[in-house]
Homo-oligomer: A and B are copies of this chain.
Amino acid sequence: MISYTISQIAGILGGTTEGNSGEKITAIAKIEEGFPGSITFLANPKYESFLYETEASAVIISKNFVPKAPVKAALIRVENPYQAFTFLLQKVQELLQKKTGIEEPSFISPTAKTGKDVYIGAFCYIGHFAVIEDGVKLYPGTYVGDGVTIGKNSILYANVSVYMQCKIGESCIIHSGAVIGSDGFGHAPQADGSYLKIPQMGNVVIGNQVEVGANTTIDRATIGSTVIQDGVKLDNLIQVAHNVVIGKNTVIAAQTGISGSTKIGEKGMIGGQVGIVGHIEIANGVKIGAQSGISKTIQEENSAWRGSPAQVYRQQLKSEAIFRQLETLMKKVTALEKALSEKNGKTEV
Contact = CB atoms under 8 A, between A and B. Distances in A.
Interface string A176-208: 110100110101100001111111010000000
A311 B326 contact: no
Interface stretch (A5-13, A47-55, A252-260): A252-260
Number of identical protomers: 3
B259 A257 contact: no
Interface footprint category on A: 35 or more
A217 B214 contact: yes
B329 A322 contact: yes
11 contacts: A28-B201, A29-B223, A33-B224, A141-B141, A179-B214, A195-B251, A214-B219, A215-B215, A322-B329, A332-B333, A340-B340
Interface of A: 1, 28-30, 33, 86, 89-90, 92-93, 96, 103, 105, 107, 121-123, 125, 129, 139-141, 143, 145-146, 157-159, 161, 163-164, 173, 175-177, 179, 182-183, 185, 187-188, 193-199, 201, 209, 211, 213-215, 217, 219, 223-224, 231, 233, 235-237, 239, 241, 248-249, 251, 253-255, 257, 259, 266-267, 272-273, 275, 277, 290-291, 293, 308-309, 311, 315, 318-320, 322-327, 329-330, 332-333, 336-337, 339-340, 343-344
Given A30-B224, A125-B141, A291-B308, 18 more contacts: A103-B107, A125-B158, A141-B161, A143-B176, A159-B161, A159-B177, A177-B179, A177-B217, A179-B214, A185-B213, A185-B235, A185-B254, A195-B231, A195-B233, A195-B249, A237-B237, A257-B272, A322-B329
